Amino acid sequence: MKHETGLSYARQKDTADPLAHYRDEFHLPLNEDGTPLVYFCGHSLGLQPKSAAGIVEQEMEDWRRLGVYGHFSGTRPWLSYHEQLTEMTASLVGAEPAEIVSMNTLTVNLHLLMVSFYRPTRERHKILIESPTFPSDRYAVESQLKWHGFDPGESLLLAEPRDGEALIRSEDLEALIDRHGDSIALILLPGVQYYTGQVFDMPRIVQLGHKKGCVVGFDLAHGAGNLELALHDWDADFAVWCSYKYLNGGPGAVAACFVNARYARSFDIPRFAGWWGHDKNTRFQMGPEFHAIPGAEGWQLSNPAVLSMAPVLASLEIFESATMEALVQKSRELTGYLEFLVGEYLDEQIEILTPDNPARRGCQLSLRVKGKGNKGQELFSALENNGVVCDWREPDVIRAVPVPLYNRFEDVFQFVEILRQELVAPGPQ
């Protein structure tokens, strides 16, 4: 994809963008002068859909007006509130509705599914993750290993970049699965590596893992709402993700998970149970024996967190309208444009860690300032002082994420202009 320099080009791209109007569906944080900030932090917390407040206010009104009867007679009855999210979420991640449930938060769901799908034996007890792993995932995995009586020093298997490299080579990951597969109980990898933005070949990993008899699960915190996913067709065993990043569900929003349809009626799989996972037909008979709902809903513990789900519902309706296919196409153009401008004007100052293959990345570019010292942190502070919201990840990476729902090509241009000014590089004319 060929791009051009200059502000006029960015504005032409925005004018021709068929998704441009979705920017108006979100509240944009503003500078002191009332102009929008350049918000490149949707991978950390997505922006608020303008429709979210109305949905939340409706639930508050139903609560005020109906009290407990809101469970049955509200505008969107609370008893089955989570079901309103199911089909749209399933479409978003390429799953069947029965394979999806919205509940809890990401790491809670990860623990619940590892209870069921990490079933170690003396011969097969290892868990394969990547390095650097997002800390919460590593804490969860190590605690599960210890819970089962295994030493993480022996049972935790790391896929790592080679010395001097930032990305994990596909051939190294495949060789690791092939070499250790007979002792791996669970392969647990991200769809998108949080630090570098590298997208793993998920269908290939499932294929290789299953060939070796491993269970394969994914943390899609940075994948859901960012990539086109096909969890059912890929035959992943399970997946978990949050809803406050690309899915714009708000801070601490309810998370979701996928459980492959192959396990829909595997009621003998160990699980932590709660009454909302119990058969809906007999749930309120209050019997002492647990009978799981077939499918992913059988992993629920408690009734729906309605006020947490309401903003997610607002965002999912926007995704359904825009479609992931169109969003990914725009995402590749936006991210490619950012890559182009950085390469064109800042190649001597900035290193891009994220893969240059569009199929192996989403919205994110991880940028590292070349040279020693604290230049990266200084540059990050300068970005903040100039109205740019992105984030810093230790030890030396600035993550910049042009999200297709609400970011523009002009945002990308402005971002690179600020980088140029701070790094004293020649700029676009």
| 3-state per-residue secondary structure call for 30-86 | ECCCCCECEECECCCCCCCECCHHHHHHHHHHHHHHHHHHHHHHCCCCHHHCCHHHH
- Domain extents in the chain: 7-36+323-423, 56-321
DSSP secondary structure code for residue 225 in this structure: T
The residue with tokens 């669970």 is 186
Confidence of residue 380 (pLDDT cuts 50, 70, 90): very high
Task: Provide mean pLDDT across the span 78-89.
Answer: 97
Bigger pLDDT: 429 or 108? Answer: 108
Task: Assess whether pLDDT exceeds 90 at residue 30.
Answer: yes
Would you state the pLDDT for residue 375?
A: 85
Task: Provide mean pLDDT across the span 196-203.
Answer: 98
- 376, 368 in Cβ contact below 8 A? yes
Task: Assess whether pLDDT exceeds 90 at residue 118.
Answer: yes
Contacts 24+ apart (CB under 8 A), 144-147: 144/111, 144/114, 144/118
In 3D space, the residue among 384, 385, 347, 386 whose CA is nearest the CA of residue 368 turns out to be: 347
- 427, 345 in Cβ contact below 8 A? yes
Would you state the pLDDT for residue 427?
A: 52
Take residue 225 and report the two structure tokens written for it. 């709402």
Take residue 242 and report the two structure tokens written for it. 């949050």
- 249, 243 in Cβ contact below 8 A? yes
Mean of the per-residue pLDDT values of the chain: 96
Q: Where are the beta strands (DSSP E) in 93-226?
A: 100-102, 126-130, 156-159, 184-190, 215-219
Would you state the pLDDT for residue 374?
A: 76
Would you state the pLDDT for residue 426?
A: 52
Question: Which amino acid makes up residue 381?
Answer: S
Task: Assess whether pLDDT exceeds 90 at residue 217.
Answer: yes
Task: Provide mean pLDDT across the span 59-72.
Answer: 97
pLDDT tens by residue, 254-283: 999 999 999 999 999 999 999 999 999 999
Same topology for domains 7-36+323-423 and 56-321, yes or no? no
Question: Quick one: CATH architecture of 56-321?
Answer: 3-Layer(aba) Sandwich (3.40)
In this prediction the pTM is 0.95
Would you state the pLDDT for residue 372?
A: 67
Query: What CATH homologous superfamily does 7-36+323-423 map to?
Result: Aspartate Aminotransferase, domain 1 (3.90.1150.10)
Residues 330, 333: Cα–Cα separation, whole Å? 5
Task: Assess whether pLDDT exceeds 60 at residue 166.
Answer: yes
Number of H helices, E strands in the chain: 14, 13
Confidence of residue 201 (pLDDT cuts 50, 70, 90): very high
Percent of the chain with pLDDT over 90: 96
CA distances from 157 to 96, 170, 187, 330, 333 (A): 31, 16, 9, 36, 36
Task: Provide mean pLDDT across the span 392-410.
Answer: 96
